[in-house]
Chain A
Amino acid sequence: MEFFFEVLIGGLLAGVMYALVAIGFVLIYKASGVFNFAQGAMVLFAALTFVSLLERGVPFAWAFLATLASMVVLALLIEKVVLRPLVNRPPIILFMATLGLSYMIEGFAQFLWGAQVHGLDLGIADEPLEIRGMLLSQFDLFAAGTAAALVLALSLLFNKTRVGLSLRAVADDPLAAMAVGIRLPRIWALVWAVAGFVGLVAGLLWGARLGVQFSLSLVVLKALPVLIIGGFSSIGGAIVGGLIIGAAEKIAEIYLGPIIGSGIENWVPYVLALLFLLVRPAGLFGERAIERV
């Protein structure tokens, strides 16, 4: 039993990491209805930039700020070059555009900083910590803490600031929002920038976990099932989804792995997500629209 809980909590903590990536998705989906496949590429870009700056002797804080700045620039570029020309196109087109985008960003990141693997040390000792006889990774706890802080910050941004207000307006009804004089492009740029920031945080944590390398951009594939379970449009959902996926994945790995073989963590989340879909076609928290004809 002890062991089960250990696995479970380990999974939940890992799930937080998924949630981090998923949140970036949700932000953009809420604000611009874009299913942003490039989120993973943004994570990679952020982490790679940050690490390379560190390696070139830039102090941590400055590197962080510089990276953040670059993410904002990236966001502005995307809004101008990609989103604006594609406004009111069918979602599938926008999705495909983000596919292209992710190619561009990945290519660019590696073109700039090279393709070799970088280690990233955030200075958190990763020896397991014993709590009530359960061994938990300090790093995971730290990650969870960061994630919690991030979510708190975001919810403040959304619920307490004017920007947040207009953002929710846009999310609810873009046309109405425009009618009351909210400038969509600015909101989009902002949201992408925030998503970039989330990506940066996720990038640092993931980078510290796996080393900063191309495969980072694949975390996007982990985030998809999370979104399905949580629903595309709910941050809370993203977190819950992340936790569920993380836990399920770990448990499957430990208890199912020995029976049917290793490497199942790649698809277990998807199968899980599918099962969810068949029960709730719009995810746990996503709201379902009535079809008007």
Chain B
Amino acid sequence: MHAPTETVLLRLDDISLSFKGIKAITSISFEVKAGDICGLIGPNGAGKSSLLNVINGVYQPQSGSIRYAGQTRRRMRAHQAAEGGIARTFQNIALFKGMSVLDNVLTGRNLKRRSSWLEQILRLGRAPREEDAHRLHAEQVIAFLQIHPWRHVLVGTLPYGLQKRVELARALASEPTLLLLDEPMAGMNAEEKAQMSQFIRDINREYGTTVVLIEHDIGVVMGLCDHVVVLDYGRKIGDGTPQQVRANPEVIAAYLGS
């Protein structure tokens, strides 16, 4: 997937979200340039995950608007987001436990499917050719993330780090324009973290995918991201290049300092 013509891929305007009156996000606005890796940081409960959920339509904000790939919406619906090329991984892995690695990755291709289910079960018409094409693409993603040794293993039985990678593969299989990663390196050791950030960098370079990621490890974020947004208690307190953010006194006070 190549980045669309306009340089700003995603713009959030004054987004607010609350559950049963409890404010999770308060009038947050920021931009993500096409081709950037953008980091969302902030203490737990700062509303980072909620923000991702707003971007890909899992939650519906009470106010504000989302401009994505040239279209402005009051709110994003999950399938609109998916069809618009937004893919996502979750904080606590949301893989399909009962399925093999390959099948999980293949589910990521479902929006690219053209043949009807009838053709598929009768194995008629374009279905078999299409199945091959999707398998090939899935295999390329699997090779890219180096999970081919576990191709036919049930994901439920894989170690945590690998599951994270499989989930990334599933997201990547849909050839996303925008990739939302919710703590892709949570609970990993330094080595795994390095590997994972290498993968993310490669994805961003090879496929030109724009990435928005949440990460607690400041070192990783500063090393990986072109652009960092800092949240605290549902508010935006910092926004800019890693250097600018590191310099921002409010940020230091609220987050880096502590």
Q: Do A and B bind each other?
A: yes
Contact of A290 among B19, B49, B91, B94 (CB under 8 A): B19
> Would you call B19 and A293 a contact (CB within 8 A)?
no
Q: Is B53 an interface residue (CB 8 A)?
A: yes
Task: Name the residue on A nearest B88 (C-beta).
Answer: A293
Assembled-state Cα–Cα distance A293/B183 (Å) = 12
Judged by a CB distance under 8 angstroms, whether B199 is at the interface is: no
B94 — which chain A residues lie within 8 A by C-beta?
Answer: 293
In the bound complex, how far is the Cα of B58 from the Cα of A290, in angstroms?
Answer: 11
Is residue B255 contacting chain A, with contact meaning CB distance below 8 A?
A: no
Q: How many A-B residue pairs have CB under 8 A?
A: 8
**Cα(A290)–Cα(B20), bound, Å:** 10
Q: Using Cβ atoms and an 8 Å threshold, which residues of chain A touch B19?
A: 290
Which residues of chain A are near B91, meaning CB under 8 Å?
Answer: 293
The reply on B90 being an interface residue by CB < 8 A is: yes
What band does the interface of chain B fall in when counting residues whose beta carbon is under 8 Å from A? under 10
Question: With A and B bound together, what is the CA distance between A263 and B94 in angstroms?
Answer: 47
How far apart are B190's CB and chain A's nearest CB, in angstroms? 28
Within 8 A of B (CB), among A63-80: none
| Chain A interface size range | under 10
CB-contacts of B109-131 with A (<8 A)? none
A178 nearest CB across to chain B (Å): 22
Alpha-carbon separation in the docked complex, A290 to B49 (Å): 14
Give the contacts of A145-188 with B (CB-CB under 8 A).
none
Of residues 7 through 23 on chain B, the ones whose CB sits less than 8 Å from some CB of chain A are 19-20
Return B212 CB to nearest CB of chain A, in Å.
16
| A-contact bits for B47-88, CB 8 A (1 contact / 0 none) | 001000100001000000000000000000000000000000
Q: Which residues of B contact A290 (CB under 8 A)?
A: 19-20
Report the minimal beta-carbon distance from A90 to chain B, rounded to whole angstroms. 12
Q: Which residue of A lies closest to B182 (CB)?
A: A293
Q: What are the interface flags for A275-293 relative to B under an 8 Å C-beta threshold, 1 for contact and 0 otherwise?
A: 0000000000000001001
Q: How far is the CA of A10 from the CA of B20 in the complex (A)?
A: 40
In the complex the two chains form, what is the Cα distance from A117 to B19 in whole Å? 55
How far is B182's CA from A293's CA once the two chains are assembled, in angstroms?
A: 10
Nearest opposing residue in chain A for B90, CB measure:
A293
Which of chain B's residues 90-104 have a Cβ closer than 8 Å to chain A? 90-91, 94
Q: Please give, as numbers and ranges, the residues of chain B lying within 8 Å of A293 by CB-CB distance.
A: 49, 53, 58, 90-91, 94
Q: Report how far A293 CA is from B52 CA in the complex, Å.
A: 10
A290 to B, closest residue via Cβ:
B19
Which chain A residues lie closer than 8 Å to B90 at the CB level?
293
Tell me the bound Cα distance from A246 to B114 in angstroms.
Answer: 51
Nearest B residue to A291 via CB reads: B58
CA distance A252 to B43 in the complex (A): 58
CA gap between A259 and B25 in the complex, in Å: 56
Min CB–CB distance B47 → chain A (angstroms): 13
Docked complex Cα distance between A293 and B58 (Å): 8
B20 contacts across to A, CB distance below 8 A: 290
Chain A residues near B49: list those with CB within 8 A: 293
Closest to B19 in A: A290
In the complex, A290 Cα to B90 Cα: how many Å? 17
| CB-nearest residue of chain A to B49 | A293
Q: How far does the alpha carbon of A290 sit from the alpha carbon of B19 in the complex, in Å?
A: 8
Q: How far is the CA of A142 from the CA of B91 in the complex (A)?
A: 57
Instruction: List A residues 33-81 near B (Cβ within 8 Å).
Output: none
Those 6 A-B pairs whose CB atoms lie nearest each other, nearest first: A290-B19, A293-B58, A293-B90, A293-B53, A293-B94, A293-B49
Which residues in B have some Cβ–Cβ distance to A below 8 Å?
A: 19-20, 49, 53, 58, 90-91, 94
> What is the interface of chain A, defined by CB distance below 8 A to chain B?
290, 293
- A–B Cβ pairs within 8 angstroms, 8 of them: A290-B19, A290-B20, A293-B49, A293-B53, A293-B58, A293-B90, A293-B91, A293-B94
Question: Known pairs A293-B58, A293-B90, A293-B94. 5 more at Cβ < 8 A?
Answer: A290-B19, A290-B20, A293-B49, A293-B53, A293-B91
